[in-house]
């Protein structure tokens, strides 16, 4: 089991199977929560599931 709490933007995009551009659009539209630590942006793992659930409800 994967025990990481935070993913990089590239890792999160890979898990969602979307491009970095699409992931940043989700972030900009406040559909995906992120955490910024200094100059780096991370995606909490639970935010991915939350985003997917919200997108499914909207569909």
Domain that holds residue 45: 6-58
Give the number of domains in the chain: 1
Place of tokens 């919200």: 54
Domain-located, residue 28: yes
Domain-located, residue 54: yes
Q: How far apart are CA 37 and CA 53, in angstroms?
A: 26
* Single pTM value for the model: 0.85
Closest to 47 (Cα-Cα) out of 34, 58, 56 = 34
Domain-located, residue 1: no
Domain-located, residue 36: yes
Parallel, antiparallel, or unpaired: how do β-strands 6-8 and 35-37 relate? unpaired
Residues paired with 21 in a beta bridge: none
Predicted local confidence at residue 4, as pLDDT: 85
pLDDT tens profile 5-59:
999 999 999 999 999 999 999 999 999 999 999 999 999 999 999 999 999 998 8
């Amino acid at each position: 089991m994967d025990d990481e709490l935070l993913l990089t933007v590239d890792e999160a995009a890979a898990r969602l199977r979307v491009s970095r551009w699409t992931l940043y659009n989700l972030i900009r539209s406040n559909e995906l929560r992120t955490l910024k630590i200094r100059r780096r942006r991370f995606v909490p793992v639970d935010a991915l599931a939350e985003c997917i659930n919200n997108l499914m409800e909207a569909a």
